[in-house]
Amino acid sequence: MSDTVEEAGPSRVTLLDIEGAFYLCEGEEHIDAVLSGDGDYPLPVNCIKFASMASMRQSLGDEVNVAGLWQINPDVVSRLRREEKINAINGDDA
């Protein structure tokens, strides 16, 4: 995998962390590479943390429905953190 950080590109990967459950909010076209750790995908992976579903809805509105999003195994997120590929964002501060 390339270690190139693609900061300004139109494509990106964004995860939502809601009460410790992770959802792919943006970048579905990169899901295979993110899950396997093989291949190229935009870096860093943004991970927006919310304390609750209510705080996520307050920040992002009703347009984001987690029922329609891919849920990501916490072990995948742990690997991304170990590899320093996560940009942690506190969504409750937004």
User: 34: closest CA among 66, 87, 73, 5?
Assistant: 73
Number of folded domains that form the chain: 1
Per DSSP, the residues of 4-51 read: ----SSS---EEEEETTEEEEEE-GGGHHHHHHS-S---SSEEEEEES
The amino acid sitting at 79 is R
Residue 58 forms part of a structural domain: yes
Going by C-alpha positions, the residue among 33, 22, 24 that lies closest to residue 6 is 33
Task: Please report whether residue 76 resides in a domain.
Answer: yes
pLDDT band, very low/low/confident/very high, at 45 (cuts 50, 70, 90): very high
pLDDT of residue 5: 40
Please report whether residue 7 resides in a domain: no
Quick one: pLDDT at residue 93? 83
In a domain, 4, yes or no: no
pLDDT of 68-78, one tens digit each? Answer: 999 999 999 99
Mean pLDDT of 5-32: 85
The backbone torsions φ and ψ at residue 6, rounded to the nearest 5 degrees and listed phi first, read -105, 85
User: Does some domain include residue 52?
Assistant: yes
Flag whether 81 is in a domain: yes
Q: Kindly tell me the sign of the dihedral angle through the C-alpha atoms of 37, 81, 72, 27.
A: negative
Beta bridge partners, 90, equal 49
> 76 lies in which domain range?
14-93
